[in-house]
Copies of this chain bind each other. A is one copy, B any other.
C-alpha cells in the first residue's frame, strides 16, 4: 500500500468533525498521508458523492484508499463495505449508492463487508451516530497503512449486492443525441451531460458549428437555443452560452465568464433531459 488516505464527506469543515477522523487515522499510523476530495458534498446526496468519486479517483496513484462518508442511514442496518476497483483503488464507504458511477464506468473487482467486531474504534460501541470516524476512517487507516490487508477487512460480498442509483444511458439517433444532465459544477455553474462527444463529431460537427440544445425538466422545456460548440469558454463572448467537451470527454454546457445553471434555472438528475443536434447548414 502507498500510505495515502483520502477523505470525502458531507460533514462540512466548520467544526472539528473531519479533524476527529484525521486524529483517529494518525493515531493508528502517524506516517499516513491524509488528503481530502471535499467535505462539502451536498448533505445526504449520495448521487453527487458517487459522481465525484468517479471523476476523481482515477487521477490518484494505485492503491490509494478513499474513505467516502455520505451516510444518511448511519446507525441503521445499511452495510459498511470496502470496494476494490479494477483501477487498483480502494473505497471505504456505506453501501448506499456512493459506488454507482465507479461500478459502472470504472469497475469494481471485489467487495467486502467490514467486520465491525475488529474494525471499529475501541470504546465506540455505544456511539451510533459517527461511523465516519469510528468505522470508516478507522478501517481506512488500517488498510492504507498496510496494518490490515484487504482480505482481513471482512467476508466477500457478491458484486450484485452493490447498492446503486439508476443510471440512464444516452441515446444516439440518426441526427440527434439524447441524454440527461448528469451533474453540475456547483462552483462555476457549468452542467455536464451524459452524452459522449465522439458521436457528435461522427455526425460531422466541427468546433465553431452551431447546435440546437433543448433542455427539459419533467417534459417542460426550460432551455432551447442555438449555441456553438467551442474548444473552451474564451472562444465565445462574455455572457454567451456554449457547448464544450468536458474533462471526461462528454458534452457539457456553460456560459463564458458567467454561471449557466443560475442564469437559466437549470438543475441536474434523471428528470433533466437534454437533446442536442447539429443545426442544418443551408
Q: A-side interface residues toward B, CB under 8 Å?
A: 2, 4, 6, 8, 11-20, 22-24, 26-27, 30, 33-38, 40-41, 43-44, 48, 52-53, 55-57, 59-61, 64, 72-76, 126-130, 133, 185-188, 231-235, 244-247, 249, 257
A16 pairs with B56, CB closer than 8 A: yes
Oligomer: number of copies:
3
Q: Is B187 a contact partner of A11 (Cβ separation < 8 A)? A: yes
Interface of A is mostly: loop
**Cα-based distance from A8 to B17 in the complex (angstroms):** 13
Extra 13 A-B pairs, beta carbons < 8 Å, given A20-B59, A23-B57, A133-B247: A13-B38, A17-B187, A20-B55, A23-B60, A34-B35, A59-B133, A72-B233, A75-B235, A76-B235, A128-B244, A128-B245, A129-B232, A129-B245
Bound-state CA distance A234–B131 (Å) is 13
* A75 proximity list for chain B (CB < 8 A): 231-235
A38-B59 in contact (CB<8A) = no
A15, B52: Cβ atoms closer than 8 Å? yes
Residues on B with beta carbons closer than 8 Å to the beta carbon of A23: 56-57, 59-61, 64
Give the contacting residue for A27; candidates B48, B55, B61, B246; CB below 8 A. B61
Taking CB atoms, residues of chain B closer than 8 Å to A73 are: 234
